Structure 1
Amino acid sequence: MASHAQAQWWKRAPVDFEECADAAEKAANKTEKTAQLADCNAKFAGRRKPGGGYSYYDFLQDRTFDIAGPNPTPEEQKKIDESYTAYLAKQRRSNEAAQATARQQREQQEQQVQQLQQVALRTEAERVPMPVERPKVQQAVGQRKGAPCTKGSFSCEWPRLSESLNELKKLFNPAPSKPAKKG
């Protein structure tokens, strides 16, 4: 056992995720392999790009950033954090705009409902006739409203006489009665 431990002195540590993952693939069993891959993820944030260099995926922004090495430098991390702050501000403005638009649409819908209700009420009022007081016997043509009527004059007596004649006609010509129904 001592000879095996002494033989590892020349092995170097992996320099990036890909080297670490290659070493994990050679693990003895699945459990050890999974544990080593988790360790690789914890040690290295960046992933090797095909053309060279590294990229860092920020899942909070759903975006990748180019970085110089296998892990972001403090300056690169600062830029990633600033980008995230800008991303959050943009999301907040977008949400506020969406809420304002939704509020405006609700107000417009409420106004439309009110207008429809007013139209419906007006239409209903036009369909149902308002009770009208029975007109009084009009004064003769040519008489001014409120002008005194000279008793005995034809223009003052005619409306009363006409009404009396109509009542006499009704007495002598009663409305025909309906024939009895045979059941």
Structure 2
Amino acid sequence: MSDVVASRRAALVIATAGFSLLMPSHAQAQWWKHAPVDFEECADAAEKAATKAEKTAALADCNAKFAGRRKTGGGYSYYDFLQDRTFDIAGPNPTPEEQKKIDQSYTAYLANQRRSTVAAEAIAHQQQEQEVHEVALRTEIERVPVPVERPKVQQAVGADPRARPKGGNCAKSSFSCEWPRLSEGLSELKKLFSPTPSKPAKKG
């Protein structure tokens, strides 16, 4: 946490130094009649500067001296640009205790930013794996051959043996094929050996 706070305060010092560099050398002196109590009073005095350059330099000095801004209902607020957040403070500048809370909030802010980044990377990785899986699945489906439908004649033969076609498709040694011919031959033999019944003679 000490490294985070140190880097944070270094950024604030650099920002404040940037405003100070805008001030000409003659504006370094106390240009107000009495010391202002906050930024708003300081800015009101800066508006009375003789030239635009002096006004700009005076406003930069006000911004460097006072971090807080007046609130409508009383008290002050402090805007931390590193967190993009506003904090309520009692005076025109944060007290050491208030500054400590602001620094702790900044540490928590960085932790939340890291967690959000890690979560976003995890979601992106999961989506990428899902896309790869879907592509592999589609490729596998395309490789599977489509089954060919069996011919209707073969289906009929396999379903009912009695529906077998006549002719060359019937094996000679098959009993089911030979039985009709044997049955016809037996019927002819019975007719030959069975005498024809004689008609009875008519009585005169």
TM-score w.r.t. structure 1 length?
0.62
SS in structure 1 of the partner of residue 146 of structure 2: helix
1:30/1:11 Cα in 2 relative to 1: closer, same or farther (>3 Å)?
A: closer
Alignment partner of 2:117 out of 95, 108, 118? 95
Distance (Å, rounded) in 1 between the aligned partners of 2:78 and 2:51? 29
Distance (Å, rounded) in 2 between the aligned partners of 1:32 and 1:88? 39
Alignment partner of 2:146 out of 111, 126, 139? 126
Give ranges in structure 1 of 5+ residues lacking alignment: 1-7, 130-153, 156-183
Distance (Å, rounded) in 1 between the aligned partners of 2:94 and 2:101? 10
Alignment partner of 1:28 out of 50, 54, 57? 50
SS in structure 2 of the partner of residue 92 of structure 1: helix
Give ranges in structure 2 of 5+ residues lacking alignment: 1-29, 149-171, 174-204
Distance (Å, rounded) in 1 between the aligned partners of 2:143 and 2:43? 76
**Deviation string, structure 1 residues 116-173 (Cα, Å, up to 9, x no partner):** 1111122xx338x8xxxxxxxxxxxxxxxxxxxxxxxx65xxxxxxxxxxxxxxxxxx
Alignment partner of 2:100 out of 71, 75, 78? 78
Q: Which runs of 4+ in 1 moved over 6 A?
A: none
Coordinate RMSD, CA, aligned = 1.9
**Equivalent position amino acid for 2:94 in 1:** P
**Equivalent position amino acid for 2:87 in 1:** F
Alignment partner of 2:85 out of 38, 41, 63? 63
Report how far residue 59 of structure 1 moved. 1.0
Matched residue, 1:45? 67
Distance (Å, rounded) in 1 between the aligned partners of 2:36 and 2:78? 18
Distance (Å, rounded) in 1 between the aligned partners of 2:143 and 2:45? 81
Q: Which has the higher contact order (CA 8 A, sep 6+)?
A: 2
**Equivalent position amino acid for 2:83 in 1:** Q
**Deviation string, structure 1 residues 57-115 (Cα, Å, up to 9, x no partner):** 01111110000110001110000000000011011111111110110110011000100
Larger Rg: 2
Alignment partner of 1:109 out of 128, 131, 140? 131
